[in-house]
Structure formats: C-alpha cells, structure tokens
Chains A and B, each alone.
Chain A
Amino acid sequence: DAKTTQPPSMDCAEGRAANLPCNHSTISGNEYVYWYRQIHSQGPQYIIHGLKNNETNEMASLIITEDRKSSTLILPHATLRDTAVYYCIVRVGSNTGKLIFGQGTTLQVKP
C-alpha cells in the first residue's frame, strides 16, 4: 500500500502558486519523498525529491516539515500545461527504485 495520502483534486488559477500537500506520517528515517506528475496518456515525469531539507529546482520547490510527516510541492507560477495528476511517493528502501503509487492529486489549472 502507498504510504502517502493526498487530496484527490485541486484547482489553481493560472499564474498563481499551486501548493499540493501530502501526508506521509509513517515515513522512515532513510526514506525519501518523491514527486512525479502524469499528464494524460504519458509516463510519469520526475519533478523533485528530498529527504529532510527543503529542495528547489527549475520546476518546483519541495517543503518538508521538520518531523517529516508531511510535505508540500509548490509550483510557483502555474500554467495551463501544469494540469496533471501529481503523485507524492515515499521511496521504499534507500537504494531501490520500487515506487508504490497512491491515487495522487489531480491539479486543474484554470485560466
């Protein structure tokens, strides 16, 4: 079973920041939090990952709470092309590539 819970859907206005929450209260000390998104009929696209520090790259920022029980993915200026299903995943084991997907959050960016 997936170790994460996410809201099933969210809306965001184009140009505004999209903040996608994720709960992972049973995460272990050596488990990373990964975020992917999937646009219809495509394979998942890697966005960002982190262990305990906040992370930022050209796509997004990842904010992880100090107790690591939850995190937030931030898309700073959402565009219509960011409409997708966003998956928050806790990586099983520190060196495996085995990812267990939950249901994700469907983000709808509106004009």
Chain B
Amino acid sequence: GAVVSQHPSRVICKSGTSVKIECRSLDFQATTMFWYRQFPKQSLMLMATSNEGSKATYEQGVEKDKFLINHASLTLSTLTVTSAHPEDSSFYICSAIAPGASGNTIYFGEGSWLTVV
C-alpha cells in the first residue's frame, strides 16, 4: 500500500521549547493530511486536518496557536508543538488519503513519540 512516513520517530525536548514533526507521503500526493494524538492506553484523537496551500482545520478543544500545522507541498505536512510542556508528551500520528480503485484509502505514518522534560 501507499507509504506515509514520519520524522522523527522519537524526540525529547525541554519544557518551553518548540519541536517540529514531519509527515510525508512517499509515493503519492496528498492535498489533505490529518494529525492525531494518542495518550498511553487510549485511542487516537483527531487534532486537525491539514490542507495543502491553506489553513488547517482544528478539532474542538485543540489550540491552534500551540499546535502549528503547515502543509506547504503536496507531500509534506508539519506539526510544530510550541512552548511544549510535559502534558504535551504523547504519541503523534499523521495520516493521508491515497487514491485507489475502490475508493480512497487512508494510510497512517509510523507515529512520533514526543517526551517533554
């Protein structure tokens, strides 16, 4: 299937700093990507929809100024966690829509573990 790649897979940052996570579609173009967050032993929670060339759409309760999303090209979306705090430590996952014969399929990246110390 289509491949979505995230980088870095793990990152540790100090409280108060910002950290950027990249999401790339490797063999297809994605005008729309999605960012999720997952805390331990919980399900994935949709944070925002990343739209190429326009502003991201955030889910209710997600701070857009804290979680900056940029989708500057058809193969790359970035999530920047600004002024990170320990409670932002989580597993961040992106997904993208890949076209297919039987309807579009959504593929996920490998995820990025963020630890804020």
Contact = CB atoms under 8 A, between A and B. Distances in A.
A34 B106 contact: yes
Contacts, number: 60
A110 to B, nearest CB: 21
B30 to A, nearest CB: 9
A36 B91 contact: no
Contact of B93 (A44, A98, A104): A44
Interface in B3-48: 4, 6, 32-34, 36, 43-46
Contacts of B73: none
Contacts of A104: 43
Interface string A97-111: 111111110000000
Interface in A78-111: 87, 91, 94-104
In which size bucket is the chain A interface? 20 to 34
B46 A100 contact: yes
B95 A97 contact: yes
A95 to B, nearest CB: 7
A95 B111 CA distance: 24
A43 B110 contact: yes
Interface in A16-65: 32, 34, 36, 41-46, 49, 51
A49 B43 contact: no
A41 B111 contact: yes
A72 B33 CA distance: 28
B97 interface: yes
Nearest to B5: A43
Contacts of B46: 98-101
Contact of B95 (A94, A99, A100, A102): A99
B105 A46 contact: yes
Interface of A: 32, 34, 36, 41-46, 49, 51, 87, 91, 94-104
Interface of B: 1, 4, 6, 32-34, 36, 43-46, 49, 91, 93, 95-97, 102-111, 113
